[in-house]
Amino acid sequence: MKKQYLIAGLALSFLNMLGPLLTVHAAASANPCTELSAQAKCTTNSSNRVEPYHANFLVFMGGKDRYQIREKECITEIAAVPETIVSFDEGPIAICKGTVFVRGNGHKQEFTVSGGKSIELEISREKIISIDASGIVKDATLSEREMLNRKHSHSTEPVHLIAAMGSKFKVAKNSIQLGRGWFLVQASTANIRTDSMQIGIASPSIINVESTNEFERVGVCAGLGKIEVKSNQFDEKLELGRELSLLKKEHSNNAKMNNMDGILRRQFHSFCLQDGTLLVENDFSIFSMLSQAQHLEQLRKPSCDSDREVRDMLLKNCVTYELVSQKHGKYFR
């Protein structure tokens, strides 16, 4: 056990040293909440599609989801109606879609809503208000207050989504539809869809999902359970440190798929599906993903408690996986 903690500490120290070297291709350092607010109208159109900057998103899928956003000495406790999308970071909480219920903490709290409108409130302790994406603020009803007051024995946290600039997603029919882009998804239970795959999360896990014109990819970065990945042509179960890629027929000869992102991989197995799509399964290095993936830049220099917790969880799972998979051989770039 001491050996695992020593390796984790060394990995964390090494990652902190790498930070300045790994931001060369980073996007402009604008506040993600401000950037999102300027695009808030994108979340209220017929497709309810979100086009984020590098940002943290909370996707509330049910009536029992609750979350605590910690900022310095303040804790903002929130709940929401199903299919609500909230963005947060160091800046104000941005309500992208739906209605949020907020418990007062006696401090000033800032929110942004559609059209970039900013709302600053000082809510007395234990008072609960509702704010919707259009900016309407009112006292929560009795049933709405119960969403925060009732101590659910089976209460859950919303899906935590980290998305890169230009990535797109929407929420519909109890699932999260990921469009083109790069995502890190942390969830206890979730149904994730891409153009070609359905991804089922049934236990606390973190997965990495990429979707481009050439391929779609999902990798398991944290968690003890298996992640189900399926389509009408295959049904696979992925464990920690395993990755599945679908290379579309017209790009099946593109050898760059496996080395263009700088992530180390090994143990490749490929299958050709009936429609000509190439399915590839392999191991991948969680540490190299954390240190190289552009959409995870905010985890390399975390600015909020949520980012630090995700980073530490990835590092711990990285250490665990490397210790149990030493016999799998050398990684390749």
Sorted by sequence, the CB contacts under 8 Å of residue 315 that are 6+ apart come out as: 8, 11, 12, 15, 287, 290
What pTM was computed for the model? 0.81
Residue among 185, 188, 189, 149 nearest 167 (CA): 185
Give the residue with greater pLDDT, 71 vs 282.
282
Q: Model confidence at 236, in pLDDT bands (50, 70, 90)?
A: very high
Sorted by sequence, the CB contacts under 8 Å of residue 173 that are 6+ apart come out as: none
Q: Is the pLDDT of residue 233 over 90?
A: yes
Q: What is the pLDDT of residues 273-311, one digit of tens each?
A: 998 899 999 999 999 999 988 888 888 888 778 888 999
Can you give the pLDDT at residue 253? Answer: 54
Helices (H), 57-189: 142-149
Q: Is the pLDDT of residue 173 over 90?
A: no
Provide the residue ranges of all domains of the chain, joining segments of one domain with +. Answer: 2-30+173-328, 32-47+55-149
Q: Model confidence at 30, in pLDDT bands (50, 70, 90)?
A: very low
Exposed/middle/buried for 167, CB within 10 Å: 0-12, 13-18, 19+? buried
Helix (H, G, I), strand (E, B) or coil at 61: coil
Look at the alpha carbons of 291, 157, 66, 144 in this order and tell me if their dihedral is positive or negative.
positive
Residue among 120, 33, 129 nearest 78 (CA): 129
Helices (H), the chain: 2-18, 32-38, 142-149, 286-292, 297-300, 305-324
